Structure 1
Amino acid sequence: MGRGTEFRGIRYATAPRWNPPQAPVAAIDTKVASTFGANCPSVGAPNEAEDCLFLNVYVPPHTKVDAQLPVLVFSHGGGFVSGSGQLYPATSLAADNNMIVVTLNYRLGALGWLSNSKLAASVANEFEAVGDAGNYGLMDQQFALRWVKDNIAGFGGDPAKVTFSGESAGGISVLATLTSTNTAQNLFRAAIVESGSFFYYTSQSASSRQATLGAAFESDLGCDSASCLRSKTVAQVLASQGRVFGRYNLGPVHSTKLVPIAPKAAFETGQFIKVPVMQGITASEGRFFLSRLLAPLPTPAQMLAAGGPANYDLQNPNGYCGTAGAPATCTYSQIIGKVMASPTPDTVDAAYLRIMNPAAITSDFLSLLATTYPAANFKNTFLNNAPSADMAISQLWGDAIVACPARAANSALARFVQVYAFELDDPAAPQAGNTVGFPLGSQHTAELSYLYDLGAALNTDQQQLALSMRRYWGNFVTNLDPNGNSLPSFDAFPVAQIFSPGVGQLRSAADLDQRHFCSGIWDRIRAATP
């Protein structure tokens, strides 16, 4: 048995296109759960099929069927357009904590998140009111939670001790499910959110999404009916998805039966499922997004040749300050302004821009950002510690879209439930596939290498940190409190716990506010945001 037993590729539902998930036909024979199920369709994904609603169960060694172990259900990230449960082996997380871990697939891209009026429910059902459309991937995840509640006892789990967790898009799904007071009550008793706070400020109503992108998708496919939409091949759907939605413009919509109101309003008014929450971020979230969001920025050599960060004025042929493709003189603050106002349009959707209040992005505000995030403070160790505008702007972006929304969400939730906040801060975190020319450090997704068996090359200190983090997670799942097992004290919000390798693996920060300039900058720019 070794470190435990894996049950792979268990079907939990069927996925009729643009309809709620359905219970699978009961099997009449025994299934050998040794291979993963198909991945849900996404661009470039291997082994994909629309019939993709499978989950995987990781059971610690020597577990008896009547063990009643606590359960962690993990929802993967990937911007709602990629990913699968099989990417996150959880043998160590389960074995180190004597708990069961479940990973799952859910429908992706337009197949999982298209909100279109032609697809609106004509009859109310368990997930939809009449007129609702979209959120099919969220329905899948809640259906999986129901499957766990009904079946996990057969694996030695306790259906009354389920924690719902997720990272990035999965974390957004957890936040959305917290608002699902009509459909998800009693499916879980705690929640863990890793880097999923985008949704706090960026959620859209179903009607708004239907009237804009939903209608554009329909037009792009040349359809004027639900039957026409459903007749398209997966390849046609994915191609249109790329043309209409770009990379990051899909996800949950509110003002539906499934997500009654926007998370910000739900959390601020207490209209959510009240369970303990553990929510955190990584120290350098934005470094993950830089190559995906921004046109190429000046190199450190260019910046130094222009006089360095204190006198930043250079010829930049990216069109930031003039005609696209033509040389133009830009100041550092002007480049920041262009990045904030109009990131690369084919990869950044309006949802991210809704985080900002455009009227607040004045020249004085941009000067404040340039002073607060000086390139001189961000040393590129790949280039002899040269100042890095890339690193500075990626930090600015990550603070704006992840770190400070997480702090705001935690602050709202903490008025009603117990909240624990955390941040991973490891400048030497594993960074396979780095193509951006500077250290990625604790970028978005970095904590996953410490929690799941991803094969990352961790040094001795990082291995110890990984074990400590897995045990904090296990304590929270088991006892609704991360403390225990002789670990350093993990205080509740507003204190945030900072995870770093080596001496002082866990240290307290009075608040993430000062680390990420939330009240001084980002809360201010959002004060007037609709």
Structure 2
Amino acid sequence: MLCPSRLLALSALAFLSLAHAQQPVTVQTDQGAVVGQQAAARTFLGIPYAAPPVGELRWKPPQPAAAWNTPRDASKFGGECAQTVLALFALPGETPGAVKGQEDCLYLNVYAPKGATPASNLPVMVWIHGGAYTAGSANAYDGSVLAEKNNMLVVTLNYRLGALGWLSLPALGGEAGGGQSGNYGLMDQQAALKWVQSNITAFGGDPAKVTIAGESAGGMSNCAHLASPASAGLFRGAIIQSGLCTSPGNSVTLADAQNRNQKYASNLGCKADDLACLRAAPVDKLLSTKVPGLRPAANLVWSPVYASKLLPLTLRDAFTTGQFNRVPVMNGTNHDEGRLFVSVASPNGKPISPVVYWGGTGLTVGAANTTKVLRQYPYRNFGTPALAFATMFTDAVFSCPALRVNAALSKYVPVYAFEFNDPNAVTIVKTPVDLPSLGAHHSSGLAYAFQSKVDGLADFADFTPAQRQLSDAFSAAWVAFIKTGKPASADWKTFDPAQNNVQVFTPDGVRPSILFSNDHRCNFWQELDLK
């Protein structure tokens, strides 16, 4: 047994070690000084980039954050935005369907290498999280490894979600002037990008070297920033991972959204033009109210709306006509995106039946196209209806729309197309009983890119040596693009619509391929031309 004096000495040593491992570091921002922590990297957490969007600021453009006079503690995350827990990404202790988070949530986090100074002028990645515009948080992504390992800065940000971020109503448009309503979450992202322009130099970053990156709804947000005149000049490159940018049903106009959302307002017990009633509604009620009689995909419009002031054109029209912010783009998908969504389509976790497969296909492609699609993807050819649905969903919603985006953008800017394909990608998501595995499912590449744990998805510590090698290659491609606008691989050529060339990342190596279109039956989907 150790004597008391020895215990005291060890305790003091541990305290000194901790003090050395985590040292406070202060940076001056436009609003005031923030005190972060320096360990393996510098971290500044929970910095407000806009005023809390509460009370009268609910459903209004983000306003400037208030200044502070004494240094602000930036050692802890700010609150995540109010949201309903999604079953797919529920963390231990969370109940699917429950509401968590808060309205006061417009915070961002900055990760910088230890030696960064205002004179460093380092490249910056601004990360926009996914979650179907209804869930997710900046706090799930640790940017410290990317920052320290690659001598760059990483910024992660929150933005308003669900009804709080995307509600469109005529009364809100009339209040704002010019008919603009909805897209508050997109305006939050733009406010955060403007904050980066004004403040990132103090942390060691270069505002002229900002690349936006995001996955799923975050990737689609980046497509919206490409198309939004209000985002011009806020970034010099874009990484789009699994962005669904021209996927079926994703081009809702402001007029359609306002029309649909009137039913939502009435189900809250408010008239659609009674903004005082709507602003007084409890957050839990706002996020749990449904509209009977509408299929889930059309239930509510919690996503960007087009033919609006912020997004004058749909993404397809903006990209095909060249009316977008012209910067280099990396655009990619995962080989088995749709396998994650089988859990949603599967009733009570049971195997998907042929009838459910038929119904899910109709919801995805529309009733008029169901028969054609089922003939193209007969479930008997796949072993189970679940695998047929997952494959069809991957091709229709992710892979082939991404190819369409590549073709459109590549007429005007350099585009680098990629596919992440680890057949046994590390994940903590449970595999449905009627799938052979989750494969390279939706969101599975994120831990490989960040080279760290991503809450609710995967932990880098669980990677095999081959997966670590894949992660090194995948992450290095992102980093090279962030630093130079090119992935820095001799065999990775810019996208050519005549070749449909895609860089494929697998545990066996990284190589260009012209088989992507065939693999995902994109000729079929191009002829079907879903909108």
- Match runs of 1:80-119 below 5 Å: 80-119=133-172
Letter paired with 1:400: A
In the alignment, what sits opposite 2:275? 226
Write out per-residue CA displacement over residues 109-133 of structure 1, whole angstroms, 9 at most, x where no aligned residue.
1000111122214344xxxxx1111
| DSSP 3-state at the match of 2:105 | coil
**d(CA) in 1 for partners of 2:526, 2:347:** 26
**d(CA) in 1 for partners of 2:173, 2:183:** 11
**Is the 1:496–1:508 contact (alpha carbons within 8 Å) kept by the matching residues of 2?**
yes
Write out per-residue CA displacement over residues 441-467 of structure 1, whole angstroms, 9 at most, x where no aligned residue.
100001101012112311111111112
**d(CA) in 2 for partners of 1:67, 1:232:** 47
| DSSP 3-state at the match of 1:72 | strand
Write out per-residue CA displacement over residues 379-401 of structure 1, whole angstroms, 9 at most, x where no aligned residue.
xxxxxxxx333123211111111
Write out per-residue CA displacement over residues 462-487 of structure 1, whole angstroms, 9 at most, x where no aligned residue.
1111122111111101100011xxx5
**d(CA) in 1 for partners of 2:295, 2:211:** 32
Q: How far 1:360 sits from its partner (Å)? A: 3.6
| DSSP 3-state at the match of 2:83 | coil
CA 1:298/1:157 → structure 2, altered by over 3 Å: closer, same or farther? closer
Does 2:519 match 1:510?
Answer: no
In the alignment, what sits opposite 2:287? 238
Aligned equivalent of 1:282, options 317, 328, 334: 334
CA 1:481/1:242 → structure 2, altered by over 3 Å: closer, same or farther? farther
CA 1:123/1:210 → structure 2, altered by over 3 Å: closer, same or farther? closer
CA 1:488/1:500 → structure 2, altered by over 3 Å: closer, same or farther? farther
- Match runs of 1:419-458 below 5 Å: 419-437=415-433, 438=435, 439-452=437-450, 453-454=452-453, 455-456=459-460, 457-458=462-463
**d(CA) in 2 for partners of 1:80, 1:433:** 20
**d(CA) in 2 for partners of 1:117, 1:245:** 23
Does 2:521 match 1:474?
Answer: no
Letter paired with 1:230: R
**Is the 1:431–1:441 contact (alpha carbons within 8 Å) kept by the matching residues of 2?**
no
Write out per-residue CA displacement over residues 7-50 of structure 1, whole angstroms, 9 at most, x where no aligned residue.
10010002221000001111111012100000100124787221
| DSSP 3-state at the match of 2:426 | coil
In the alignment, what sits opposite 1:135? 183
In the alignment, what sits opposite 1:522? 525
TM-score (norm 1): 0.82
**d(CA) in 2 for partners of 1:99, 1:47:** 32
**d(CA) in 1 for partners of 2:176, 2:116:** 44
Write out per-residue CA displacement over residues 73-105 of structure 1, whole angstroms, 9 at most, x where no aligned residue.
000001111110010101122223211010000
**Is the 2:361–2:389 contact (alpha carbons within 8 Å) kept by the matching residues of 1?**
no
**d(CA) in 1 for partners of 2:113, 2:380:** 48
**Structure 2 unaligned blocks of 5 or more:** 1-37, 86-97, 454-458
| DSSP 3-state at the match of 1:204 | coil
Q: How far 1:198 sits from its partner (Å)? A: 4.5
CA 1:227/1:414 → structure 2, altered by over 3 Å: closer, same or farther? same
| DSSP 3-state at the match of 2:419 | strand
| DSSP 3-state at the match of 2:235 | coil
**d(CA) in 2 for partners of 1:18, 1:298:** 40
- Match runs of 1:160-309 below 5 Å: 160-181=208-229, 183-201=230-248, 202-212=250-260, 214-224=261-271, 225-240=274-289, 246=296, 249-295=301-347, 299=351
Moved more, 456-465 or 44-53: 44-53
| DSSP 3-state at the match of 2:413 | coil
Letter paired with 2:514: A
**Is the 1:200–1:264 contact (alpha carbons within 8 Å) kept by the matching residues of 2?**
no
Write out per-residue CA displacement over residues 284-326 of structure 1, whole angstroms, 9 at most, x where no aligned residue.
00001111134479859xxxxxxxxxxxxxxx6x8x2xxxxxx
In the alignment, what sits opposite 2:408? 412
**d(CA) in 2 for partners of 1:236, 1:298:** 30
CA 1:180/1:416 → structure 2, altered by over 3 Å: closer, same or farther? same
Does 2:61 match 1:12?
Answer: no
In the alignment, what sits opposite 1:382? none
CA 1:136/1:298 → structure 2, altered by over 3 Å: closer, same or farther? closer
CA 1:215/1:368 → structure 2, altered by over 3 Å: closer, same or farther? same
Does 2:526 match 1:501?
Answer: no
Does 2:130 match 1:77?
Answer: yes
Letter paired with 2:442: H
**d(CA) in 2 for partners of 1:226, 1:399:** 41
CA 1:241/1:28 → structure 2, altered by over 3 Å: closer, same or farther? farther
Q: How far 1:242 sits from its partner (Å)? A: 7.8
Q: How far 1:515 sits from its partner (Å)? A: 1.5
In the alignment, what sits opposite 1:492? 494
**d(CA) in 1 for partners of 2:373, 2:140:** 41
CA 1:64/1:221 → structure 2, altered by over 3 Å: closer, same or farther? same
Q: Percent identity?
A: 38
Moved more, 290-299 or 255-264: 290-299
Letter paired with 1:388: T
**d(CA) in 1 for partners of 2:104, 2:502:** 41
**d(CA) in 2 for partners of 1:103, 1:390:** 35
In the alignment, what sits opposite 1:361? 370
**Is the 2:46–2:77 contact (alpha carbons within 8 Å) kept by the matching residues of 1?**
yes
Aligned equivalent of 2:362, options 328, 341, 348: 341
Letter paired with 1:390: A
Write out per-residue CA displacement over residues 172-228 of structure 1, whole angstroms, 9 at most, x where no aligned residue.
1111111101x111000110100012545421001111111x111111012111111
Aligned equivalent of 1:390, options 386, 389, 399: 386
Letter paired with 1:119: L
Q: How far 1:256 sits from its partner (Å)? A: 1.2
**d(CA) in 2 for partners of 1:96, 1:241:** 45
CA 1:232/1:357 → structure 2, altered by over 3 Å: closer, same or farther? closer
CA 1:194/1:34 → structure 2, altered by over 3 Å: closer, same or farther? same
Letter paired with 2:486: D
Count of residue pairs brought into register by the alignment: 459
Aligned equivalent of 1:61, options 96, 114, 127: 114
| DSSP 3-state at the match of 2:289 | helix
**Structure 1 unaligned blocks of 5 or more:** 125-129, 301-315, 321-334, 343-352, 377-386
Moved more, 151-160 or 221-230: 221-230
TM-score (norm 2): 0.82
**Is the 1:96–1:470 contact (alpha carbons within 8 Å) kept by the matching residues of 2?**
no
Letter paired with 1:34: S
Q: How far 1:245 sits from its partner (Å)? A: 8.8
**Is the 2:99–2:287 contact (alpha carbons within 8 Å) kept by the matching residues of 1?**
no
**Is the 1:191–1:278 contact (alpha carbons within 8 Å) kept by the matching residues of 2?**
yes
CA 1:410/1:143 → structure 2, altered by over 3 Å: closer, same or farther? same
**d(CA) in 2 for partners of 1:298, 1:239:** 25
**d(CA) in 1 for partners of 2:45, 2:192:** 14
